Every structure is written in C-alpha cells, then in structure tokens.
Structure 1
Amino acid sequence: MTAIISVERLDKSFGTHAALREVGFEIASGEMVTLIGPSGSGKSTLLRHLIGLTRADRHSHSHVRVLDRDVQHGGRLLGASREQRCRAGYIFQQFNLVSRLSVMTNVLIGHLGGMPRWRSLAGRFTRQEHEAALHAMARVGIEELAEQRANTLSGGQMQRVAIARALVQDAEVILADEPIASLDPRSAREVMEILQRINREDGRTVVITLHQVDVARRYCQRAIALKKGRLYYDGPIAGLTDTRLQALYEDAGLDELGTREDWPPATEPLHAVG
C-alpha cells in the first residue's frame, strides 16, 4: 500500500538533549497506529512534527511527508494551502476548545479551513455546514449538548467535541496526542471506541500516542515504539511481547507498564458511531 505518512531520519534536539534521533517509518492509508514508549521517549514530539507544530533540527537530513505533501525537509517547515492543512486533524490532550463558545460552534470551527476567507472571518456558516456538524456530533454521542457551553462539559465530553470537529474538518488523517490521559477509565474507553470505529468505518488513518500498553493492545493494529528518542520497535501490536515491553520500559516506573484493572469491561454499552 502507498504510504500516507513518511518520516525519514528525523532528528530533534532541545538544547543538549536529543529528543529524537534518526527516526524513520511509513504508515499506509487506513491504518490505526499507536506511538508508545516511556515518558520522555519522544512520542508527542514526533506527533507534532507530522503536523508541522514542531520543526526538526536545522541542517538535519530529516524529511516528513503527509498526504502527498512535504511538511518539512532539512529542518525547514514547508508552506501549505488551507485545504491541504485541513486534510490532517490534530486532537490535543487538553482538548483545545474555545471554552466560552457552544459545542455547536466549536464543532463548526472544523469547517473554517475549507471556507472562503470572508465567510470564515465573519463566522457565517451555511445550513449544510450546520447539518454536517450535527451529524458529526451524533456520531460521537453528543448531539443533545449542541447549545451547551464547552466549559461546562466533562473531560470525556470535551474530547468528543474535539473528535467531532475533526470529522467536520473531513480530515483524512487524525493525529491524537494522549487523548485519554486526563480522562476517567470509562470516558477513556468510550473515546478509544469512537476513534477505532472511525478508523474502521471511514477508513481514516489514525495515529495516536498512548501511555498504557494494554489500551494500545486492545485498540490498535500496529505499534511504533520509541525509547530514548530512537525507534525501538515497528510492527504488529501482537509483536510487542512481554519480553520486548520489559526491555522498552526497563528504566520506567511500573505504572507505565502495568495494566489498568479499573478499565471497564468491553461489554458495557457505548454511544454508537455509525
């Protein structure tokens, strides 16, 4: 399959600390991939490079390409049209919503990149755009919250708003940075179910950084593991054996490797995505 994401020789330093070193991989369209590794291994830094939020080291040989577009090359960020930028959606750990605006308006913001500039500046949305927003909210189970202010929502509800916004954006690639890190176990499982169903039903590529190994095993097909800024493993999630995981997390605390006994069973009902 043709690579939809390509990373070559990615180097990133913060002062004297090497956050990423010679990282390279390809991701095909329709995959659901987790980036895992101990805290400080470079997972979030790597994800931010894919969307151009972070720039690789200057004069490096790094090359990042997403959706047939060069995002950066040799430590230099490359420009893109608004339409090109909209093809990749980014879901933040802390939701990145406008707290004083309604759920509906926060979801409608996903349309801005594809709208004429005069209409985006005025914040004028069409009936079709409102209908698309309502459909996206229904898919993640929050349509009844459309008129509620974002700052009145729970963490799990806020993350669903962020996912609905990416759906409205019609992003072909969804990049999610620790989207369940601040959620309670039930809300976390619901968010992971939604991302998995979007991947399966829509064929959208999903790349997600995760902290807990058992969650990655349950929902993702493939793992890219980092250790001390270098690629440690890249392959099927089943290939992350206990021996490999022990070596990956040998210098980390047990909480990073241990299972979540409070994770709700998969038989509990969830809001459907369909």
Structure 2
Amino acid sequence: MGNDPGNIGIIAGGGQFPLLFLEAARRAGRTVVVIAHKGETAPEVAAAADAVCWVKLGQLGKVISFFKANRVSEAVFLGSITKTQIFRDVLPDLKGLTLWNKIDRKQDDAILRAVAGALEQEGISVRESTLYLRHLLFPAGLLSRRKPTKEQRQDIEFGWRNARAIGALDIGQCVVVRNRTVLAVEAIDGTDATIRRGGLLAKEKAVVVKVRKPGQDFRFDLPATGLATITTLRSVGAAVLAVEAGQSLLFDPEAMIREADAAGIVVVGVTEREDGTLDF
C-alpha cells in the first residue's frame, strides 16, 4: 500500500477529454472520482465514474469536501466550460466567492491557477491534463494529403506571430488569416466560433492557426482540435489548419484527416525553433 497513489479526481467540463482520461486512468489502476458541471459534462462521464458529484460553477467548497470524502490525492482539470456561463450560470458557495474576490484578472489562467492553488492548500495535487494521454498530443509535420502553397505558408507564419501575441495577453489561442490579414481573433466565444467569424469574412481559403499560449500551464486548457474542427472549417470553405505540434491535443485523428482530405483541407503540425523559425 505504500506505493498507492490514491484516488484521482477529475474536474470535468464538456467534450470527450474527461471520458478518455477516465478510461486511461482506470487502465492504470486508479479509482476515478468526478466533479461534473451541470449543463457541460457529458452523462457518460458521470456514469463511468467510481463516484460523482454534480456542481455549478463556483461551488469550490463542495468540490473540496467531495474530494476529501473520497480520499482524492491528485486532481486534473479536463474538458471545456462554455466561457459565457461565467456571466450567467454561476452559483458560488462561500469558499468559491472568497476565492473569486481575490482574483484580480477574471481570465482563464488566473482563475484556474487560483482554483488549483486552493486545492493544493487542501493537500490535493493538481496534475497535468496529459498525465495518461501523452499519445493524444498533436504530431509534427504534414498530416493531410494536400500541402500548403507558398502563400499559405506565408499566412501560417503571419498567423503564428499574431496567435502568439494574443496568447501572451491571455485572450485566446487561435487566429484566422488570409493574405496576411487577421480576420478573427479567438476570445471568450472559443475556436469554432472564431473560425466561423473569420471564414465568413475570408469568403473562402481562410488559414486557421492555433498555438499554445506562452507559458501555458499543461494542467489547464490545452488547445484541442478534432473532427468537429474540420467540420467547422469545411462549412466556411477554409483551406488550412496549422496547429502547434506537441503542445495541443488531437482527438479522432483518423476520422479528422479523412474528413480533411475529402474537403481538400491542409492540416499541419508546426514546430517553432529556438531562433523563431517554423518547421512544417
């Protein structure tokens, strides 16, 4: 029993990431305890958990009490929370309200770091979201049959610099460009909405660039793409998806690339060298 890592807790948002992690953690021999968010977490995640507690955003005291009652020693943050819920569906308890009032900047990283700090003060260590899922990291190089043209390569490089800049400001992780012009910047509405906004302005052939924020904490909000991303790109006639390799998640890669090839969309994993040049 001396090597028993204890139970692991998932603070689960939406999407498939919490379920994939839960299954991988169980294969690793862990008992999995889930905090599920009303209106966000899939019922399948709650059904698969060894123990589950449904909460609303802000119920930090309830989260900590439930984890302690279920002997959780480590926790992970997984899945998306619809960011607009921050303004309409929050029901903070006393602990959550106290923490909220201490946070100067109501932005993703600041909020998540504060919650992680509160958990760690209670003896619950917050681990990276890729703990059992390193194989889901976006690969480097060309994934699609179609290669980027010279003009698209220039757009990727231009978009990369702009995506890095908005990431440094903790605004978002994705930009949409065409002809070295920024058409849309990700904000609270998320990646798919950003692609739709930029794609409509581009009319066609938009280039979408998605990167990890500078100093991005692997415990929180890693960029993620998948089949749904390609469906959105296809709906606006976009031409390219360029994603930072090794720093973001890729779901359903085979189905995603099949769909991209069918639509003639370029998909590429980009690596930045120390001198700032890009490989892709």
User: With structure 1 as the length reference, what TM-score do the two structures score?
Assistant: 0.34
Q: Which has the higher contact order (CA 8 A, sep 6+)?
A: 1
